[in-house]
Amino acid sequence: MPRRFTPSEANNELTEIRPLVEEIVAHSRELRRLQAQRQALGQRIAGNGGGIDAGALGELEEAERQERIEITSRVDAVHKRGAIVKDLDTGLVDFPARLQGQEVLLCWQLGEDQVEHWHGLEEGFAGRKRLNPE
């Protein structure tokens, strides 16, 4: 059974989770940059390939692999704390909870000071509702 958080417990976890999520977002951004660079290089190679360092594509692929490893490591660390990373680009994290006898997800996004929202299991971010103060 997954851990269930109260809003206070989720907010307490942010001291450990926030830095991990900041790193996830940064590595995700770098991964997208590398992918775009590799795609552009691939198009140049497909065009004529002249004047391109043969190892450049391999170096980009290795850098992408390293970014994926870094992202996976931090996502795993968040998940081990009982929270769920929902979006690598925005730093969206859910915390399983029970509110008024109902299974829900407390919802936090990087840039927010604390966990102040929740949504049903099937609603997602678009269905966020504000928590009542504890």
2 within some domain: no
Contact present, 59 and 41 (Cβ < 8 Å) = no
84 within some domain: yes
Distance CA 120, CA 104 (A): 5
Task: Report the number of distinct structural domains present in the chain.
Answer: 1
29 within some domain: yes
Q: What pLDDT, in 10s, does the model give residues 42-65?
A: 777 766 656 667 688 889 999 999
Angle at 61 between CA 56 and CA 42, to 5 degrees: 60
Residue 85 C-beta-side C-alpha neighbours within 13 Å: 26
Q: What pLDDT, in 10s, does the model give residues 92-128?
A: 999 999 998 999 999 999 999 999 999 999 998 888 9
Enclosing domain of residue 32: 7-130
43 within some domain: yes
14 within some domain: yes
1 within some domain: no
Contact present, 124 and 111 (Cβ < 8 Å) = no
53 within some domain: yes
Contact present, 98 and 111 (Cβ < 8 Å) = no
Check pLDDT > 60 for residue 134. Answer: no
Q: Cβ contacts of residue 120 below 8 Å, gap of 6+?
A: 102, 104, 105, 127
122 within some domain: yes
